[in-house]
Amino acid sequence: QSMSGRIIVGAIVLVVSVGASVYYYLRSRRPQAQAQAQGLSLSLSSSSRGDSKEVSEQLQCVVCLDRERNIMLQPCNHFCLCDACHQRLKRRVCPICNRPIASVLPVFVS
């Protein structure tokens, strides 16, 4: 092989290995981001369901950021939407992971 051919192959190998490293790094961080988005620590504020006053940030709908979450999406199990935003979704995909929504499960937090 010529020297320029070796340089090109080396550059391709380098780009692929860096790309793979970045991909696996980002993939390993994804569960942490999902846990934060889902608000796994369910501390409630004194507001009533659907009331926009003082909804705990951990329970805020990820779409409107106003009402309390009360819908879990299936099959991804993301707990991320209030009923109003679920009803208004134009694309029937999860706003967190973009997977198609097969069904929903109402969640009642007390």
Unique residue bearing structure tokens 């993301």: 78
pLDDT at position 31: 56
In percent, how much of the chain has pLDDT > 70? 69
Query: Residue holding tokens 């779409």?
Result: 63
Residue 49 confidence (pLDDT): 46
SS3 16: helix
- Predicted confidence (pLDDT) per residue in 23-75, tens digit: 776 666 555 555 555 444 444 333 444 444 456 778 899 999 889 999 999 99
What's the whole-number average pLDDT of the chain?
A: 77
Q: What is the mean pLDDT of residues 10-33?
A: 73
Q: What is the pLDDT of residue 47?
A: 41
Q: Which of 75, 82, 66 is nearest to 97 (CA)?
A: 75
Which pLDDT score, from 0 to 100, does residue 13 have?
85
Q: In the prediction, which pLDDT does 94 show?
A: 92
Structural domains present in the chain: 3-106 (3.30.40.10)
Helix, strand, or coil (residue 1): coil
Average pLDDT (72-86) is 93
